[in-house]
Amino acid sequence: MITVIGSINMDLVVTADKAPEAGETVMGTGFRQIPGGKGANQAVAAARSGAETAMVGRVGRDSFGETILRGLQEDLSDTSHIQRMDGVPTGIAAILVDGKGQNRITVVSGANFTFTADDIDAIRPLIARSHVLLLQLEIPLEAVFRALVVAKEEGVCSILNPAPAIELPPAIYGCVDLLTPNESELSILTGLPAGTRPQRIEASRKLLGFGLPSLIVTLGSEGSLSINQTGEIRHVPAYPVDALDTTAAGDCFNGALACQIDRMIAESGQRTGRFVPTPEQLAVAIDFATKASAISVTRAGAQPSLPYRREIDAFDAWYSLHSS
Ligand code: RIB
């Protein structure tokens, strides 16, 4: 079972052939309101990949909150920890998707930023009975840090997707089992360049030096690099496709990855102590997550783009028609 603690947003999505420069006006080609938020997207991705998934999150008592909650109730096995808050609006994200499928996102957090460390203590039993705890950085850092500490104390495997990236206190890395930055997030976390393979390895080693057991650096069309404390480095290739919209591709990857790790823990029968996947197991989980996100970028929007297990399992046939 996976617990996701994180953000829930309504995405206000404008499509345009070209993004405007500062001071410029361009004509758009479409507008949609689509459920999103990194936390909710990752929870839906995990659930559609086949995991029993609980979400802890907050929305306002407004129509966005109502619409999003109804959608999440269809996908997730437990939405009882999603609270509707008085006096704050549901979080929103203003998203511009250009003609190449690239996005620019501005988040206004609203209810997502009302979490405190005490709120995390109140859900300790939920964390304790999870196989995997999945977190991002769209809720207050004090809540994320507390959740990681609780997971460590309870022997629960934790995955932190450090997005959007901020510099983190070094002590947090000793509480995370698996960190999943992309290249620019790795650079922000470490203050080091991460544009080339040697730079990514050096930056990753800085985080491993703080006690992080392993990390996966996602590299978009270049695939991903996994690095762990033993010094083992693996590259898992991407599946190139023509991207229509990359929104939530990273969320899809993280949710699907968490689903595979949840399965491995369930199959291992291990219930106490932290589960550490072998490099081989991690490579299999990364490949599954890479397939899921390749499907997602060929579809528009955040949650509507996230694939179901049957689609990921039928990937080879799908890819023979969609590879670029
Ligand atoms: O990762 C994509 C998500 O980032 C969007 O759904 C948006 O809500 C922001 O949280």
Domain ranges of the chain: 2-322
Does residue 252 line the site of ligand 1, with CB under 6 A? no
Which pLDDT score, from 0 to 100, does residue 272 have?
59
- What residue's CA is closest to ligand 1, atom 1? 248
- What residue's CA is closest to ligand 1, atom 7? 37
Summarised one tens digit per residue, pLDDT across range 193-233 is 999 999 999 999 999 999 999 999 999 989 999 999 998 99
Does residue 9 line the site of ligand 1, with CB under 6 A? yes
What does the pLDDT average to over 284-310? 97
Does residue 41 line the site of ligand 1, with CB under 6 A? yes
Summarised one tens digit per residue, pLDDT across range 92-101 is 999 999 999 8
pTM of the model: 0.97
Which pLDDT score, from 0 to 100, does residue 273 have?
61
Does residue 251 line the site of ligand 1, with CB under 6 A? yes
Which pLDDT score, from 0 to 100, does residue 269 have?
80
Higher pLDDT, 182 or 270: 182
Which pLDDT score, from 0 to 100, does residue 275 have?
75
Residue 271 banded pLDDT, cuts 50, 70, 90? low
Summarised one tens digit per residue, pLDDT across range 44-101 is 999 999 999 999 999 999 999 999 999 999 999 999 999 999 999 999 999 999 999 8
Give the pair of three-digit tokens for residue 191: 């203050």
What does the pLDDT average to over 296-310? 97
Would you say residue 166 has pLDDT above 70? Answer: yes
Would you say residue 274 has pLDDT above 90? Answer: no
Q: Which atom of ligand 1 is nearest to the CA of 103?
A: 2
Which pLDDT score, from 0 to 100, does residue 137 have?
98
Summarised one tens digit per residue, pLDDT across range 118-145 is 999 999 999 999 999 999 999 999 999 9
Q: Which atom of ligand 1 is nearest to the CA of 247?
A: 2
Residue 91 CA, ligand 1 centroid: distance in Å: 10
What does the pLDDT average to over 293-306? 97
Write out the catalytic residue numbers. Answer: 251
CATH topology of domain 2-322: UDP-N-acetylmuramoyl-L-alanine:D-glutamate ligase (3.40.1190)
Which pLDDT score, from 0 to 100, does residue 87 have?
97
